[in-house]
Structure 1
Amino acid sequence: MKVGILTFHNAHNYGAVLQAYALRTKLRKMGHDAHIINYCNKKIQNRYSDKIKLEVSKRDVVFPTHWIKIIGKKLQNDYAQDTWKKQCDSFNKFINEILLENHTNKIKSDDLGKIEMDAFICGSDQVWASWITGGLDPIYFLDFNTNAKKISYAASMPSNKIPLNEQSYFKKCINLLDFVSVREEQVSTTLNNLCNRSIKTVVDPTLLLDANDYSNLLSASCEKEGYVFAYFVHEDNILMECAQKIASQLGKELIELHYYLQKNLKGHNQRADFGPSEFLTYIKNADFVLTNSFHGTVFSVLYGKNFYSIYNNDSRKDNLLNNLKLKSRHIYSIDSIELNQEIDYGSVYELLRWYRKNSIDFLDKALS
C-alpha cells in the first residue's frame, strides 16, 4: 500500500526525527510504499531557528531589578550560539536528506486530500497535544477529506486528561479513524472511556526496529569509546550528580549532551552540537548511559547498554521499563546507584519481541 505519514518530522528533537525514520523504515520492511509527508505545523516550524531567541517577558523589561536576568540570558545565548547553529544544521540535513529524501516542498493542509494514498498514518509523538501545536491541529487527527484509510499509530499527548473544551473534537475525530492506537496505556484508557471504542496500545516506532536497523545512520567520524554518556533532555542536578559519581567509580571520562551549551557548566566535557547520527553513535559506543529522556532510554535498551533512567513521574518511561522488566533501571537519587547489577538482555529482548509483535500485528491488520 502507499502510505503517507504525518508526524513531527521537522522538530529538532532526537526522538521526534528518529521515531519518524523508524516508522517509515518498518513500513517499508513490511512491503509498503511509505513516505513522510512534509506538512509543517506553524508553531513547531517557528520554534526552530539557527539563531537562539532571547525570550524576555514584559515584566522583566518593566522592572529594572530584573534586567540582570535579561543580561544573564543574553550571555547564556551568546555562549551557546555556535554549537546551537551546528546542531540546527545537522538536524536540517537529517530531515531533508534522510526523512524527506530531498523532496522538501512543503505540503499545505488544503492539499492533503488531493494526495493519492491508500492510507494515512498520524503519529507517533505528541501529535494530539494542543499546547505543542498551538491548538489542536486537524491534520494530526487526519481531519480532512480523503478516500484513504485513516490510522493513528502510537499517537500521544502529554497527559492522560483531555481538557473539557477539547473532548468533543477528540470524540469526533477518534471515531472517524479506521484504526486507532496510542503509545501510553493511560491515554488508551482515557480515550476508551471518552469514545467508547477499543484503543490499542503499541510501542513507540523506534522500538519497531533492532539496533542493526539504525546502522546506516551512525556517524563514521565518532570513533571514541570507553566513556560514561549523560544525555540531558532538560537540565537536572540529580542526573548530573549520578553521572559524575558513576564516571568516578568506573574511572571513565564523562561526556555530557545538553540541549544548549551551559555557561554555568564551563569546564565540563559538554556537547551541544550533535545531530541524530552523533546521538545514536555516542550511546552505542558508551560504557554506561544516564539520561532523563524517553528516547535516550529506548536506545540504551536497543544497544544493550548499562544505563539508568533518572526521573520522577513519567508514564512513557514507566510503561517501557515495566513492560521490559527493567524497573530497577529507574532511579530517583544518587543513593539508588548499584553498579553490581547486570541487565539480562536475553530476557529483555525476548519481552521486547513479544511487545513489538503486537504492534506489528496492529499495523498488518490496519494496512491489510
Structure 2
Amino acid sequence: MKRVLTLTMHSAHNYGAVLQAFALQSYLIQRGYKNEIIDYRPDYISNEYKIIQLKQNNIPIHRSIVSSFISLPFRILKSYRFNKFINENLKLTNNTFKTYSQLQESNPKGDVYIVGSDQVWNSDITKGVDPAFFLDFVTFGKKVSYAASFGKEYVKNEEKNLIKKHLEVFDAISIREESGRGILENLGIKKSELVVDPVFLLNKGDYNKISKKPKIDKYLLIYTLENDPLVTPLARKVAEARNLKIVSIGSFINRYKSDYHIRAAGPEEFLGYFMNADYVITNSFHGTAFSIIFNKDFASIKLNNKRGTRIENLLEITDNKNRVVERKEDFGKILDSIPYHFKSIKIEEVVQSSKNFISENI
C-alpha cells in the first residue's frame, strides 16, 4: 500500500480550507491509499485565526479591542468546533511542524507527496514563497500538486525564478484555475492539468455522514466572504417569491438583517446549513461549490476583485455561468430552478477527469 502524504492549509479555521483537506484525504483513503496530512502550522496561518484579534484591518484599535471582547464567546465556540473537527476527522502526522526548517529536518517519509488544494502558492498569504508548499523538503518520492492555486492572475517578477525552480522538479502538476495555468505557461512550465477542487471528489452521501442538520427548515442561506449591497434586496426578493426564512452564516454582526444569523458554526454545522437550504446566495468559492454538489438553486454574487476569477472558472466548467449576479437587473434570471438533471453529465465528466489525474500520478 502506497503511503501518500498531503500538504495543505488544513489548520486554518476556514470552512473551505478544512473541508477540502478532509475531502482529498477521504478520497485517497477510499481508493486504498494510506494517507496522512503533514501537520504544518506556520505562524502566518495560526496568527490569522487567533481567538483574540486586537488589531483588525481598517478598524481603529479601540473599536477593534471592544469588538474582539464582545464577540469572544462566539470566537471560542467556533474555534472549539473547528479544532474538534480537525482532531476527529483528519488523519495527521504525529509531529507538528511550525517552521519550514523543522519540516526539512524531520523530512516525513512517503512514497508520494501531494501539495494542495487551496491557495498554497499564493505568496500574499504565505508571506513570500514558502518552500514547504513547493515540497522542497522532499528528498525521495514523487512530487505532485492537486488543484493547487496561486489565488491571483500573476506572480511577482522577483518570485518567478524561484517558483519555476521549485516546480520544474515536480512529477505532475495540476491546478485549480485556468489563470494558474497561464502563470505556469508564463514561467515556461507547459505541462499541467486543470482539475476540480477536492470537495467535488466526494458525493452528498459522504458529506451527510459528518454534517449536522439545523433545527430551522424552509430557508434561504446567505454565505458571503465580502459584504455586498446586492445581497439584502436579492435575498428578500427570493425569500418572498419562495416563502422562505432568511438564514446567514458569517461574522459576529448580522449585516444582512437575516431572520437567523449563525455566528459560530463549525464545519459540520456549515455543511448542514448548505445541505438543507432551499436556496443559497453566496460570493464564496466553496459556497458555490457546495451549492452545486448539493444540487441547490443558488445565486453567485460577482466579486469586484480578481479573486472572483476562480468562481467564474468553476461556474464555467459546471455550466452555471447564468447564475452570476452583477446588478439588480440580474435578479429575475436566477429565480428559476437549476436543471441539474441536464447539467450532471458535464459535472461528472470534469470530476472523473480529476479522479483520473490522481490515479495516473500516484
Please indicate, yes or no, whether the TM-score normalized by the shorter chain is above 0.5: yes
Identify the match of residue 279 of structure 2 among 288, 303, 316: 288
CA root-mean-square deviation: 2.1
| Aligned residues of 1:52 and 1:81 also touching (Cα < 8 A) | no
String of CA shifts for 1:333-353, please: whole Å, max 9, x gaps.
233123552211112221111
Q: Percent identity?
A: 34
Residue aligning to 2:22: 21
Residue aligning to 1:115: 108
Identify the match of residue 235 of structure 1 among 227, 231, 239: 227
CA distance in 2: counterparts of 1:51 and 1:181, whole angstroms: 37
Residue aligning to 1:65: none
* Equivalent position amino acid for 1:53 in 2: L
* Equivalent position amino acid for 1:243 in 2: A
TM-score, length basis structure 1: 0.90
1:88 alignment partner, SS class: helix
Greater strand content: 2
* Equivalent position amino acid for 1:196 in 2: I
| Aligned residues of 1:122 and 1:142 also touching (Cα < 8 A) | yes
2:220 alignment partner, SS class: strand
Greater helix content: 1
Structure 1's 78 and 245: CA in aligned 2 closer, same or farther, altered over 3 A? farther
Pairs aligned (count): 354
String of CA shifts for 1:30-65, please: whole Å, max 9, x gaps.
2111111101122111211222333378xx9xxxxx
| Aligned residues of 2:301 and 2:325 also touching (Cα < 8 A) | yes
Structure 1's 227 and 256: CA in aligned 2 closer, same or farther, altered over 3 A? same
String of CA shifts for 1:140-194, please: whole Å, max 9, x gaps.
0001242111101111012121110000011101101111111011211220231
Structure 1's 56 and 228: CA in aligned 2 closer, same or farther, altered over 3 A? closer
Deviation at 1:282? 0.5
2:47 alignment partner, SS class: helix
1:203 alignment partner, SS class: coil
CA distance in 2: counterparts of 1:179 and 1:6, whole angstroms: 15
Residue aligning to 1:361: 356
Residue aligning to 2:131: 138
Residue aligning to 1:66: none
Does residue 39 (structure 1) correspond to residue 29 (structure 2)? The answer is no
1:256 alignment partner, SS class: strand
Runs of 5+ unmatched residues, structure 2: none
| Aligned residues of 2:278 and 2:296 also touching (Cα < 8 A) | yes
Deviation at 1:265? 6.3
* Equivalent position amino acid for 1:219 in 2: K
TM-score, length basis structure 2: 0.92
Deviation at 1:72? 3.6
| Aligned residues of 1:26 and 1:208 also touching (Cα < 8 A) | yes
2:345 alignment partner, SS class: helix
| Aligned residues of 1:122 and 1:155 also touching (Cα < 8 A) | yes
String of CA shifts for 1:9-45, please: whole Å, max 9, x gaps.
0001100000000111111122111111101122111
Deviation at 1:300? 0.6
| Aligned residues of 1:56 and 1:70 also touching (Cα < 8 A) | no
